[in-house]
Amino acid sequence: MISNNEAITLNGTEIEWIYWCILVTLIFVGVAFSHSAILYLFDRFISKGIGKLLRKYKRYKWNVAFGIGILSAIIVFGRLLAYTFNQGELCRVRTDTLISTKMGDWGGFATCLTSIFALMSVYLAFRALRSQTTAARRASFDATFTQIFAQHNILHRKVTQHNVLCKKITLLDIIIARCRAKNASNLFTMCREAFENEYLIKESKISISDFRKKYNSSIGLSSSADFKNYFKYIHREVSFVMYNSKDILEPKDQKRYVKLIEGQMNNDELFCYFINQLEYWISHKNEEEVNKYANYLKDNEFFKEICLTEDYQSLIKKACDISTEDIKDGDKPLIENKWLNEKAH
């Protein structure tokens, strides 16, 4: 680019620019490689707010790292080019530049320019590969979710087909009354009515855990086994979306899948699942995975609809009031406080 008899020596400013461009690129590449460890440290010891930002950044970490690398290369190349053509002056335009007219002097320039375009090509190829990989993982995710969703309906039918015998019901007055009237409901409705009878009519003070034990005992071993297994399967469904949709689905798309699961359940089922999860959270509230799952349900508004539904809002409030001693700082697990304060419909 310049004549063979001339040479340009970089000053301290240009060298610092090169160092900083390389350093920033390495920082972003390092963050991309160690993202999980950094996220764990922020969540555990520093700030959960920053941790949430890092979770959003996770999906784009390699795009940002490659983009910063290409931008840094362009900045360095541009500054060196201008610096060389202007005899060591970056911003001042000169007419007496030392631009060589010999083709042999331009070999290094061509190599540098080619390397920048090669880096861009690598980045675009990387994005294309990631897109194909993501599409394949999304197809696999959808196929598995469809199968899980179909099994959900099978288990639901199995639970609702149970006929509860009167002789097995000795503890809950509301269930006995229904049997005598030959108008037995399904297990979910019976559980909700038993809850109303226990806490709203009798004004009992027993814990949610004791209530669930009492109810499961009253409906018999076979019915209780399928009843509890159904809720365990709901947990598996939501957990599948939570853990297997990383880098595949945006948060808003994850929410749609979770809402599909919620949409399969009627209000009685949702209420039963709420007290099931509330009781489980109370028993395991110090476990990270349990809190993570509870927050995931809250973030995706799994129980929002039932909290805003007339007749059920009061039941949710009652369940939370019973567990007041186990809920710290007034921040309820599974639901937002504001849902219970909004007008029911």
* Three-class secondary structure of residue 335 per DSSP: coil
On the question of pLDDT at 300 being above 60, the answer is: yes
On the question of pLDDT at 167 being above 70, the answer is: no
**What is the reported pLDDT for 239?**
93
Cα–Cα distance for residue pair 338/308, rounded to 1 Å? 10
Residue 238's nearest CA partner among 222, 216, 257, 220 is 257
Contact by Cβ (8 Å): 175, 162:
no
* Residue 122 placed within a domain: no
Cα–Cα distance for residue pair 341/46, rounded to 1 Å? 32
**What is the reported pLDDT for 267?**
92
Residue 96 sits in the same domain as residue 206: no
Residue 270's nearest CA partner among 310, 229, 222, 316 is 316
Residue 294's nearest CA partner among 255, 344, 250, 239 is 239
On the question of pLDDT at 223 being above 80, the answer is: yes
Work out the mean pLDDT of the chain and round it to a whole number. Answer: 77
Residue 61 sits in the same domain as residue 150: no
Q: How many domains does the chain have?
A: 2
Least confident of 100-104, 231-235, 303-307: 100-104
On the question of pLDDT at 333 being above 60, the answer is: yes
The pTM of this model reads 0.67
Across 77-92, average pLDDT = 62
Across 268-291, average pLDDT = 90
Cα–Cα distance for residue pair 42/287, rounded to 1 Å? 18
* Residue 5 placed within a domain: no
Residue 154 sits in the same domain as residue 66: no
Across 53-78, average pLDDT = 72
Distance of CA 189 to the CA centre of its chain: 32
Residue 152 sits in the same domain as residue 272: yes
Q: Give the residue, 345 or 302, on which the prediction is more confident.
A: 302
Across 269-294, average pLDDT = 90
For residue 23, give its domain range.
12-101
Query: What single-letter amino acid sits at 323?
Result: S
